[in-house]
């Protein structure tokens, strides 16, 4: 009887178990500074419901906010975050992208989705209205550290991480003027009687405005993510 009682208390191995939610230990990540929310898709690897951080199987991560929404990739129906499971193919709307850890420090990263490819001019137009120039030195891979590809392999709908060189802070005209005056002050005083202290237009410091939003940005690296269609 004791043996029967013990067997009755032990759970059966054959009983169906509900798959655990795609939760993970608390993960601390920082979204890309100043990056606007994006819509992205992928297969869930894990989801930290505490911090709202979702990690995809291809290595990308996003941080959900109060404005974010998760929908099923196939049906486009909203999914309760508590119901997300590993292996789910989802679309996350209005989420903040997290930079890839595989990218060298000091590089800027930006997440975007390809809208069109201009092969002739070596330009890639994104759905957010920006344009990226792909030069002969631009490294393109399918996934982080994946197979090398070329511009002709790119197609609309591909999600990309654009890697660019960090821009040096611009020097304001007031700083340039102060520095110029400090350097040439003695010479100006000595020559004040013989010539005017006002320089010619070509000698005066000027503000050079570059990198306007409408200008193409040169990509140092283009990392492409393309999810295979679900069967």
State CA 6 to chain mean position distance: 56
Highest CATH level, class, for 107-167+211-225: mainly beta
Residue 214's pLDDT is what?
53
The pLDDT score that the predictor gives to residue 100 is 94
DSSP annotation string for 121-153: TTEEEETTS-EEE--TT-EEEETTTTEE--GGG
Q: Which two tokens stand for residue 90?
A: 């989802």
Where exactly are the structural domains of the chain?
20-98, 107-167+211-225
Per-residue pLDDT of 191-214, as tens digits, reads: 444 444 444 443 333 333 333 345
Q: Whole-angstrom distance between the N-terminal and C-terminal Cα of the chain?
A: 52
pLDDT at 219 (0 to 100): 93
* Per-residue confidence (pLDDT) for residue 33, from 0 to 100: 93
Number of Cα atoms under 13 Å in the Cβ half of residue 89: 10
| Model confidence band, residue 27 (pLDDT cutoffs 50, 70, 90) | low
Average pLDDT over all residues of the chain: 78
How much is the pLDDT for 120? 95
What's the CA angle centered on 158, arms 157 and 161, to 5 degrees?
135
How many CB atoms within 10 Å of residue 98?
21
Q: Which residue has the tokens 């990218």?
A: 103
Q: Which residues pair with 159 in a beta bridge?
A: 113, 225
- 114 pLDDT more than 90: yes
Q: How many CB atoms are closer than 10 A to CB 132?
A: 21
pLDDT at residue 70 greater than cutoff 80: yes
CB atoms within 10 A of CB 12: 7
pLDDT tens for 125-182 read 999 999 999 999 999 999 998 999 999 999 999 999 999 987 555 555 444 444 444 4
């Amino acid at each position: 009887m004791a043996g029967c009682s013990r067997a009755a208390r032990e759970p059966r191995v054959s009983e169906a178990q509900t798959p655990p939610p795609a939760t993970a230990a608390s993960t601390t990540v920082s979204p890309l500074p100043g990056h606007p929310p994006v819509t992205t898709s992928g297969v869930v690897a894990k989801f930290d419901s505490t911090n709202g951080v979702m990690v995809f199987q291809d290595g990308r991560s996003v941080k959900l906010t109060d404005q974010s929404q998760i929908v099923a990739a196939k049906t486009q129906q909203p999914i309760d975050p508590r119901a997300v499971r590993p292996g789910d193919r989802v679309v996350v709307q209005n989420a903040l992208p997290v930079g890839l850890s595989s990218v060298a420090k000091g590089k800027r990263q930006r997440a975007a989705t390809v809208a069109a490819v201009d092969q002739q001019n070596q330009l890639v137009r994104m759905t957010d209205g920006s344009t990226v120039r792909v030069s002969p030195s631009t490294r393109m891979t399918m996934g982080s550290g994946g197979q090398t590809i070329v511009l002709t392999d790119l197609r609309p709908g591909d999600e990309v991480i654009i890697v660019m060189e960090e821009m040096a802070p611009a020097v304001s005209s007031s700083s340039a003027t102060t520095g110029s005056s400090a350097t040439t002050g003695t010479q100006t005083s000595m020559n004040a009687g013989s010539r005017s202290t006002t320089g010619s237009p070509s000698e005066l410091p000027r503000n050079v405005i570059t990198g306007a939003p409408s200008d193409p940005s040169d990509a140092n690296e283009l990392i492409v993510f393309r999810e295979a269609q679900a069967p």
